[in-house]
A = this chain, B = another copy of it.
Amino acid sequence: MSKINMGNFFEDFSIGQKIIHPLPRTISEGDVSLYIAFTGSRFALHSSDVIANEMGYDKRPIDDVLNFHLTFGKSVQDISLNAIANLGYAEISFPNPVYTGNTVSMTSTVIGLKENSNGKSGVVYVHSIGVNQNGDEVLNFKRWVMVHKKDKETSTGMNEVPTFAESTPITEEINIPVVKCVDTDATGGKFFFEDYVKGERLNHPEGITIDDSDHTLATKLYQNNAKVHFNDHMMKSTPMGERLMYGGIVISIARAISFNGLQNAQWMYAINSGAHANPTYAGDTIYAYTEVLDTIDHKRDDIGLLRLRTIAVKNQKSSEIENPKGEDGKYLKNVVLDLDYTVIIPKKKTQK
């Protein structure tokens, strides 16, 4: 038996199978600084211990998207190393904050399997749960990927497809400290929950160009070992012709760009769904705009939630894109991300 782990194929998965992903990861100040260097992110809660203290935390929690990348990265070897495509995400939530010094790990359960009609591949649906060293959940999501079959001649007949909530449910209790005051001089934003209206659109003006070393350093930091992101020699013999950027990089850049207009929306509560509409390569400049899909009140009187749709665009100002999809219902070729997510934002009464 070979000692080389070539990842799993469609037939290697079974419904109910539980996979403990290797490589628990202790998160450090080094990861946090690198994340700022990768994205230029400016959300105050993740930038300053002083602000974090004022907002009820012992020290600044790490950015939720960084938590996602570091925890998610663990699952690539087992789930998507042989993926033809990452098809979708659903019901992503961030149940507890993560701090430097925490060690995160992840387990996935197979919740669906559907062989494709061509017999060559199939879709694997997993429910993945990330926990810290105390077993507290820090990430919870479902995703589905298309993976190759080993034996293309023999049908498995698998056809179990789970259903997903249209959006991540919002819980009664939200696990962030009571927001007593928001110092708008420190956060850089004067707008609160009540200021946003459904249908509103924010054209974030910034554009950030991503280069080779930027995206490969980030993806290696996340210990995400999908070959398409690292191996230029291999990619040169594919139709892409070069390394494909890890889609998570675009999510991070889009979130960082969305700061301008959403400065006080410092918590990513959930990602309801996401599509990497087109590939991104080194040298591309990312722009973004955000639509407010919904304003969601909560029984807590200090905070509310905004359901947002952020569209990231490459090499074109986001203000030039009216609709990310063309008349044919397909994404425009410069649109690279369509992210439906929910953020927490304090109410006006917390303004200091």
Chain A contacts to B: CB under 8 angstroms: 3-6, 20, 22-26, 28-34, 36-40, 42, 44, 47-51, 60, 77, 100-101, 103, 105, 133, 185-189, 191, 195, 202-209, 211-214, 216-221, 223, 225, 227, 230-234, 243, 260-263, 283, 285, 287, 315-316
Contacts and interface: CB of A to CB of B under 8 A. Distances in A.
* Residue among A101, A195, A209 with the highest chain B CB neighbour number at 10 A: A209
Given A40-B230, A207-B231, A233-B207, A50 B34 contact: no
A125 B186 CA distance: 23
B225 A5 contact: no
A4 B202 contact: yes
A230 B216 contact: no
A259 to B, nearest CB: 9
A22 B202 CA distance: 20
Contacts of A219: 40
A176 B205 CA distance: 43
B206 A40 contact: no
B206 A230 contact: yes
Given A37-B34, A223-B42, A204 B4 contact: yes
20 contacts: A4-B205, A22-B44, A23-B188, A24-B48, A26-B50, A29-B30, A34-B34, A38-B220, A39-B220, A40-B225, A47-B223, A49-B133, A77-B188, A105-B186, A206-B227, A207-B233, A208-B231, A209-B230, A213-B213, A234-B285
A85 B155 CA distance: 59
A24 to B, nearest CB: 4
* Residue among A37, A47, A220 with the highest chain B CB neighbour number at 10 A: A37
Contacts of A225: 40, 42, 206
B28 A260 contact: no
A145 to B, nearest CB: 19
A174 to B, nearest CB: 24
Contact of A217 (B28, B37, B185): B37
A220 B4 contact: no
B24 A44 contact: yes
Contacts of A195: 3
A315 B185 CA distance: 43
A211 B216 contact: yes
A214 B217 contact: yes
Given A33-B28, A214-B216, A206 B186 contact: no
A103 B183 CA distance: 15
Given A4-B205, A38-B217, A206-B231, A51 B24 contact: yes
Given A188-B77, A209-B232, A23 B44 contact: yes
Contact of A22 (B4, B186, B283): B186
Contact of A230 (B42, B50, B207, B283): B207
Contact of A32 (B30, B39, B187, B231): B30
Given A33-B33, A40-B220, 12 more contacts: A22-B186, A25-B47, A26-B60, A30-B30, A38-B220, A42-B223, A47-B223, A48-B105, A50-B133, A208-B230, A213-B213, A233-B316
